[in-house]
Amino acid sequence: MQTAAQQIMSEFEGKFPSTYESISSLKGIGPYTAGAISSIAFNLPQPAVDGNVMRVLARLFEVNHDIGNPSNRKIFQAMMEVLIDPDRPGDFNQALMDLGSDIEAPVNPRPEESPVKEFSAAYQHGTMDRYPIKAPKKKPIPIFLKAIVVQNSQGQFLLEKNESEKLLAGFWHFPLIEVDEFSDQTQDLDLFSQVAEPILELGPSPQESFEQDYDLEVDWQDLRFEEVKHIFSHRKWHIQIIAGRVAESQEYADREVLWLRPEEFSNYPLAKPQQKIWQAYLKRSC
């Protein structure tokens, strides 16, 4: 809102814009908000399509498209552009929103009270329970990661740039090692400190993998940290922190790696999961 207000001052001479296109250009104003402002404040025939409006339209016309799929919004937008009252667009938009939030609510609707029941295909065909179509959200897949927070003798921490084209590409992060599942962290550290044949059968521990990949000798700290969790739309990261110190750090020619002091972190983009990792580390270390 602050950025939008600054835009109004710098680009519109301090006067709120009055066209749909100019309103849409304001920071933070999406299609629904732009349509609502245009129709209600300036009486422009622009649809304001929210979930309530899509619910009413889906039942009116038995729309066989998932309203939870953002790409299907354009279908309802096009329908509203045809239906909207050119003389009272604001009242029309608000009426459909109110209808969808009350009489045709997602839970315990009262279709027999609807003022549009005689025009509703779903009501006339007895298919009210089928519409709107909204596929259940898939549970995010759990991903288990070990975050390696390593500090050198100068008080710098190792961060690496994500150069992949996958999730959070371009951000800087503490090294992450994916594992199948979590075992007890103390047990992990104990196993790492032992040299026995049974351990070799399990493969390298995250600590061993890190030392091999980064060519470092690390004095691992026996500290327990709060587990960090972060949910993306399709993934749920579970992150355990492993902390250590190195006497000598080195530069790397084959990867984008930096040793940074905490006050330098702000100069590099850190995604939210990394910020959570750092806060959990500070909470335990201080």
pLDDT tens digit at each of 286 positions of the chain: 889 999 999 999 999 999 999 999 999 999 999 999 999 999 999 999 999 999 999 999 999 999 999 999 999 999 999 999 999 999 999 999 999 999 999 889 998 999 999 999 999 999 998 999 998 878 889 999 999 999 999 999 999 998 876 788 889 999 999 998 876 544 444 444 444 444 344 568 899 999 999 999 999 999 999 999 999 988 999 999 999 999 888 887 778 899 999 999 999 999 999 999 999 999 987 6
What pLDDT sits at residue 192? 44
Distance CA 114, CA 130 (A): 17
Per the CB < 8 A criterion, the answer to whether 111 and 117 are in contact is yes
Phi, psi (rounded to 5 degrees) for 230? -145, 130
- How many CB atoms are closer than 10 A to CB 34? 22
238 forms bridges with which residues in the sheet? 144, 229
What pLDDT sits at residue 285? 72
Name residue, tokens 């604001």: 90
Contacts 24+ apart (CB under 8 A), 262-271: 262/157, 265/159, 268/159, 268/172, 269/170, 269/171, 269/172, 270/171, 270/172, 270/173, 271/168, 271/171, 271/173
Distance CA 279, CA 265 (A): 12
What pLDDT sits at residue 286? 63
Name residue, tokens 């994916």: 178
Check: pTM over 0.85? Answer yes or no: no
What pLDDT sits at residue 189? 46
What pLDDT sits at residue 184? 55
